[in-house]
Amino acid sequence: MSHWANESVFYQIYPLGLCGAPAQNDLSSPPANRLDELLPWLDHAHFLGANALYIGPIFESLSHGYDTVNYSVVDRRLGTNDAFARVCARAHELGLKVVLDAVFNHVGRGFPGFCDLQEKGRASRYLDWFAGVDFQRASPRGDAFTYEGWHGHDDLVKLDVRNPAVRDHLFSATAQWMDQFGIDGLRLDAADCLDLDFLRLLGSFCRARRADFWLLGEIIHGDYRRWAAPGLLDSVTNYECYKGLYSSHAEQNYFEIAWSLNRQFGPQGLYRGLPLYNFADNHDVSRVASLVKDPAQLLPLYSILFTMPGVPSVYYGSEWGIQATKDATDRNLRPRLSLADAEGAGTLPGLEEAIGRLALIRRASPALLTGDYRQIHVASLQFAFARWCREETVIVALNNDTRAAAFSLDASPLPDGAMHDLMDPGRAIRVTGGRLSFSLAPRSAAVISSAPQGR
């Protein structure tokens, strides 16, 4: 039986940005009521064809959400636990699973245990909660000790997750989120920095409470099988193909993404059967509309995202092709948006509708959900691959040229007969003598299925 996440289309929301929360938390103001602004976005995600949400950091933090100070309380800049419970309940009413950002590698300097260590020094009962504490030297922040920060950032204090007391604290918070909000999974921030034994224990804890609970890890480099393995994580972020998606289009070089897909999912692919989490952009990287040379390239780009093996995700606002380039703060990547503003800020009319169609195509296609992958044709500006299973064969073709392109593809072992372009339901394309011949308009895609039309 397939896991629910493997049949999902994700929609990512970063609440502190989308809801326009202040950049800094004073930790004293009464809770604001901003979470209601998420409700229309849930309906939008559902309308777009998503059936799962990845919601960025939601718990009390000092600034951007990844410097947590309280794992049990929703950030006061957004609202209250009860308000977020209503958001989760509405999401579930719409059939949207809810996956929360879990920042377990590090905390903010305002975390009570760290404040206790600052105050009491070696006498603090939290002395061994943090990695690399050394009273032989002072920290750059003036503390009487040094400590390990995430990638050298001293505002992000690394937890020692090998400490049973730390694990109990984090697991207790996870149990609260499961009980109070009914969440369906976690996205583990900086998962490559987390101890594998911790990940194994977390997996056992969560799955003992709910067998289908899903764990996604943020992994940027390395062999994804180290983390996505039995007893550990269910999936990891596919940064390799993220890069290939935008640069293959921007640099007019489909050989790059074709190489990555074949390496990952081809006949000898490293990750065959592993449903990696695929994305065109997210809260940490430049919007993909700012990386391509022509907004029209977004249509073939998203067509690959939704038809390649793995689990596709759309970052809020990018379905309209809004632009933003990464800077020192990342705040422009995480903007305050209303639905009306987002629709007017896009660069490619019709992209939202195309993504909605792709989401529904993927969710209805056995071949796209679970099928194997085979590369058929690669050129600088054209690319085609097949996905197939017992019930269906799908051939995906992309044209990144500014001119129409003719395709003549090996369709064996399909018998002669009609196939249908799911992106253009009125268009029938015939297999003749084991070949599939058709043309594609500039900057366009075809998703051609062997299944009967109207299935």
Q: Where are the domains of the chain?
A: 4-366, 370-449
CATH number of 4-366: 3.20.20.80
The predicted pLDDT at position 288 comes to: 98
Nearest CA-CA partner of 411 in 424, 423, 397: 397
Q: What is the separation, in whole angstroms, between the first and last Cα of the chain?
A: 22
- In whole angstroms, what is the distance from residue 26 CA to residue 23 CA? 10
Are the C-beta atoms of 337 and 346 separated by less than 8 Å? no
Q: What's the confidence (pLDDT) of residue 1?
A: 61
Whole-angstrom distance, CA of residue 212 vs CA of residue 122: 42
Kindly list the distances between the CA atom of residue 133 and the CA atoms of 66, 114, 150, 160, 328, in Å, as whole numbers in the listed order. Answer: 21, 11, 14, 10, 28
Low-confidence ranges of the chain (pLDDT < 50): none
Please tell me the CATH superfamily of domain 370-449, with its number. Golgi alpha-mannosidase II (2.60.40.1180)
Residues 6+ apart with CB under 8 A from 414: 393, 431, 434, 436, 450
What residues pair up with 312 in beta bridges, in sequence order?
278
